[in-house]
Amino acid sequence: MVSHTAQHPPAVSAVTLHVNGVPHRLTLDNRTTVLDALREHLALTGSKKGCDHGQCGACTVLIEGRHTNSCLKLAVSCDGAEITTVEGLADGENPHPVQRAFLDRDGFQCGYCTPGQICSAVGVLTEVADGHPSHVTPVPPSGSEAAPEPVRLTPEEIRERMSGNLCRCGAYTNIVAAIEDVAG
């Protein structure tokens, strides 16, 4: 293993991250995660560093519309990608429907996990709209000619799809209700 010294500086790359609709040209150590790029280089601190192992979901953002643990994704792998953080969901002064539902349903307590929960919920709604099944989605038996039913966002579906987001305060019931409200 090569130590990083003046003779052997860490490898860096120039990347462009399109964050909340704004392109940012950065030169980053190749080991920099999306989370650290957002927090340390762009001062977007909504996404939280919880476990730093992809187990809690506090760092969840949308990358190309998919909810992603930003602590596990290297920024260099996202060169040119569209990244949406909780700060980029609102439409001006109007909160995103999921943000509004979290407020209306009291889907948070301490608020630490809330940005990741909200970004995950937005990603879940997109997955469902696109017809992507989850582990609990009923599918026709193998060999059946029946077309799969559209995905219904039941509480069980929501819990399965949101299972990567932990809330130490236990606001799960209200989080599920908020997502149900937006799903209609």
56: left (phi over 0), alpha (psi -120 to 50) or beta: alpha
Using CA atoms, how far apart are residues 23 and 148, in angstroms rounded to an integer? 39
pLDDT tens-digit series, residues 47-63: 999 999 999 999 999 99
Share of the chain above pLDDT 90, in %: 85
Using CA atoms, how far apart are residues 147 and 156, in angstroms rounded to an integer? 22
pLDDT (0 to 100) of residue 2: 56
Using CA atoms, how far apart are residues 69 and 77, in angstroms rounded to an integer? 13
pLDDT tens-digit series, residues 87-120: 999 999 999 999 999 999 999 899 999 999 999 9
pTM recorded for the entire structure: 0.91
Using CA atoms, how far apart are residues 77 and 73, in angstroms rounded to an integer? 7
Residue 162: which of 175, 149, 146, 151 has the closest Cα?
A: 175
Query: Looking up tokens 């957002």, which residue turns up?
Result: 38
Using CA atoms, how far apart are residues 4 and 107, in angstroms rounded to an integer? 45
Using CA atoms, how far apart are residues 156 and 8, in angstroms rounded to an integer? 52
CB 101 within 8 A of CB 178: yes
CB 182 within 8 A of CB 111: no
pLDDT at 146 over 80: no
65: left (phi over 0), alpha (psi -120 to 50) or beta: left
